[in-house]
Amino acid sequence: MAQLEFAIDLGSSFFTVYQKGVGLVLREPNMALLQGDGNVVKEIGYKAKNMHTSMLGNSKPVYPVKEGIIVDSDTAVLVFKEFFKKILPEGIIKRKFTALVLVSGAMKVAERKTVEKVFTKVGANAVYVCDSPLALYEYTETKGGMFVDIGGGKTEVAAVGNNGIVAGATVNIAGNAFTNAIIDLIAEKYYIKIGEITAEKLKCESLSFYRNDAGVDFVSGASMSDGMTKNAEIMAQDLFDAVAPLVDDLVDVMMSVLASTPPELASEIYRKGFFISGGSSQIAGLNQYLADRMGLYSTLLNDPENGVAIGGGKFLDCMDDLGTLIGIDLNN
């Protein structure tokens, strides 16, 4: 019986799994609803998110990963086991598997050890922990470049060459920060308190970095003066004003990484630009805005949400490629 092999993008917002020989087999919100004393999983993924959004029941929502780091090992084991029940074939004998877990490049040694322990308890008999920018490098099949992966809890910026990551930074300027900035802007400008669900909808559907966008949206929330329901007309410019300062900070991070990149690789980046991925990279006009601010070409990956997991899947087909990048013989 062949060993099952999986590449897992351990995101703050989504848990994405690629199975060797099959392809993408799971992408679900990385959350769950727990019951009782917090040791019984009621629902996971999309079902948990929808139930929580609908305010049904008295279950407790949990998010095992925040800003790319496992924050509660016991909860992570419970939740990840449920995810793998959706993937692993049913049978009398429990199938073991290999897990290539793709994580933040800023993850510390102790945090990587936690990842190994968690996935071992989930059922893996071999666990490899890999920096996610390396998976993007493999996905693009480039000879070297800059990768900007804008997720929910964090953004990874890395310059990657044939010998691995040569410069990089991980910051919490990402989708969740954009959502919070929209909440703050509407409170300050319109004196309306809105929740994360409303702000997330505005971010995904109305936020635009195209400077000629004259879009309008309407929101309802609680008046900050009397608590009564209050409506407001929100302009695309409002949302841009809320989020643009954060993106400008991200540009500074990208500039810093580029300045720290060795000349040969830097010249390659200046020649062909940078690659952008992640769920939040799909905000209207963001790709071009970053390119204009950097003065470089930019390439949005064909599958920006799943690029990390797909790149990890390519490593599963040839672990020698990963070994070369990290300088370790993975066959021994």
**23: Cα within 13 Å, side-chain hemisphere:** 0
The domain spans of the chain are 4-137+307-326, 141-173+248-300, 175-242
The pLDDT of 243-262, averaged and rounded, is 97
- The CATH code of the domain at 141-173+248-300 is 3.30.420.40
Binning pLDDT at 50, 70 and 90, where does residue 319 land?
Answer: confident
| Mean pLDDT to the nearest integer, 16-31 | 95
pLDDT digits (tens, 9 = 90+) for 103-117: 998 899 999 999 999
Q: Which two tokens stand for residue 86?
A: 């959706």
pLDDT digit string, tens, across residues 142-186:
888 999 999 998 999 999 998 899 999 999 999 999 999 999 999
Beta strands in 112-215 (DSSP E): 124-131, 145-150, 155-161, 164-171, 192-193
Instruction: In whole angstroms, give the CA distance from residue 78 to residue 71.
Output: 13
On the question of a common fold for 4-137+307-326 and 141-173+248-300, the answer reads: yes
- Its CATH class, for the domain covering 4-137+307-326, is alpha beta
117-126 pLDDT, tens digit each:
999 999 999 9
**What confidence tier does 93 reach under pLDDT thresholds 50, 70, 90?**
low
Tokens of 193: 């308190």
Counting Cβ atoms within 10 Å, is residue 225 exposed (0-12), middle (13-18) or buried (19+)? exposed
The number of residues making up the chain comes to 332
Asked if 120 and 79 touch (Cβ cutoff 8 Å), the reply is: no
What is the dihedral sign for C-alpha 136, 70, 169, 279?
positive
- Confidence band of 67 (pLDDT split at 50, 70, 90): confident
Residue of 84, 37, 86 lying closest to 62 (CA atoms): 37
Contact 229, 221 (CB under 8 A): yes
What does the DSSP assignment read for 28-85?
EES-EEEETTTTEEEEEHHHHHHHHHTT-SSPEEE-SEETTEES-HHHHHHHHHHHHH
d(CA 130, CA 156): 13
Q: Which CATH class is domain 175-242?
A: alpha beta
Distance CA 114, CA 281 (A): 29
Element (H, E) at 221: strand 216-223
